[in-house]
């Protein structure tokens, strides 16, 4: 918890003067729905704090007659203050040590806000939520290319498959394979091969739509699943990717390398019963593209 208090505090703390009647303070709590009011002097310097517990205690001690009591009579004082640059960890320690749930925050002696136990727990919850997102994101990503990994890509493809049966908008599945990639590794080394994979991944990701799921299936193979209008529309994306790779000149250690890739495309229709069937169709189309001379896109028919 090394975050600054300024990142989590409520900068609109409700204040009252020392001479305010306790009834006025209670009304402020009711109107603004807050559990504490900070008591300040005319220069907005914190003098004390009145919490719901202080009010209950005052009512009990006076047998319910608080009409004559002022804020100064009831407030907790001297007040513990923190600075905006203090850490949330420090706030947590003070709250635990003094058994309090709220601490005024002052900058140069002037009230700047209020930090509460709820603020601390809310900030901690957000931190853990963000951490969970980061961990989940890393678990679903391929470490080399930054694309989704095979597991996530296949999971989303299966989800898309179930969805397409309900919305009747065809799902297109694309499998890409870098042509003669083994020759790149054998000739220029695996460091060059990794650079090629990163470059191709970048091209595929940039060409794909934001709604498409782009993943590295394994080795030099990539997978995209997304919804299209018809077969003609399904061929636009893979052709764009194929042409972009074909026209690119890849340089490595002063040498230029021409790269191409092939793609197999399969489209869902009501005759296709399982996601695995759709994948096998796209894989067969890729096989046809390879056998047909590479550097081409084939739609399964």
Q: Which of the residues are catalytic? A: 220
147 backbone dihedrals φ, ψ, rounded to 5°:
-80, 170
Token couple for 69: 């009591």
On whether the CB atoms of residues 86 and 4 are closer than 8 A, the answer is yes
- The 3-state DSSP class for residue 154 equals helix
Bridging pattern class, strands 249-252 and 46-51: unpaired
Query: How many whole angstroms separate alpha carbon 170 and alpha carbon 160?
Result: 10
**Cα angle at 102 between 100 and 103, to 5 degrees?**
105
Q: What is the DSSP letter of 66?
A: -
Distance set, CA 17 to CA 53, 71, 79, 131, 255 (Å): 19, 7, 14, 42, 77
- Looking up tokens 């901690």 gives 124
Task: With CA atoms as reference, report the closest residue to 104 among 74, 84, 89, 82.
Answer: 82
Retrieve residue 245's tokens: 């790779």
Peptide linkage before 63 cis (omega within 30 of 0): no
Q: Please give the structure tokens belonging to residue 175.
A: 């499998």
Query: What distance in Å separates the CA atoms of residue 122 and residue 194, rounded to the nearest whole number?
Result: 42
């Amino acid at each position: 918890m090394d975050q600054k208090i300024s990142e989590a505090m409520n900068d609109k703390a409700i204040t009252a003067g020392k001479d305010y009647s306790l009834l006025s303070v209670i009304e402020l709590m009711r109107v603004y729905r807050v559990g504490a009011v900070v008591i300040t002097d005319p220069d907005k310097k914190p003098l004390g704090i009145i919490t719901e517990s202080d009010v209950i205690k005052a009512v009990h001690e006076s047998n319910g007659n608080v009409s004559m009591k002022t804020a100064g009579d009831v407030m907790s004082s001297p007040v513990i203050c923190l600075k905006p640059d203090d850490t949330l960890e420090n706030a947590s320690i003070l709250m635990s040590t003094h058994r309090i749930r709220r601490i005024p925050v002052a900058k140069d002696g002037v009230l700047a806000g209020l930090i509460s136990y709820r603020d601390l727990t809310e900030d901690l919850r957000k931190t853990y939520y963000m951490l969970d997102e980061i961990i989940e994101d890393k678990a679903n990503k391929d470490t080399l290319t930054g694309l989704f990994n095979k597991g996530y890509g296949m999971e989303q493809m299966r989800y898309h498959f179930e969805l397409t049966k309900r919305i009747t908008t065809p799902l297109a599945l694309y499998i890409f394979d870098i042509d003669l990639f083994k020759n790149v590794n054998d000739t220029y080394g695996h460091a060059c091969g990794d650079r090629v994979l990163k470059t191709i991944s970048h091209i595929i990701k940039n060409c794909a739509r934001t709604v498409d799921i782009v993943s590295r299936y394994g080795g030099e193979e990539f997978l995209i699943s997304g919804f299209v209008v018809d077969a003609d529309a399904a061929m636009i994306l893979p052709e764009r990717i194929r042409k972009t790779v074909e026209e690119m000149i890849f340089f490595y250690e002063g040498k230029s390398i021409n790269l191409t890739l092939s793609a197999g495309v399969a489209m869902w229709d009501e005759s296709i019963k399982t996601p695995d069937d759709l994948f096998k169709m796209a894989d067969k189309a890729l096989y046809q593209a390879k056998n047909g001379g590479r550097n081409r896109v084939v739609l399964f028919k």
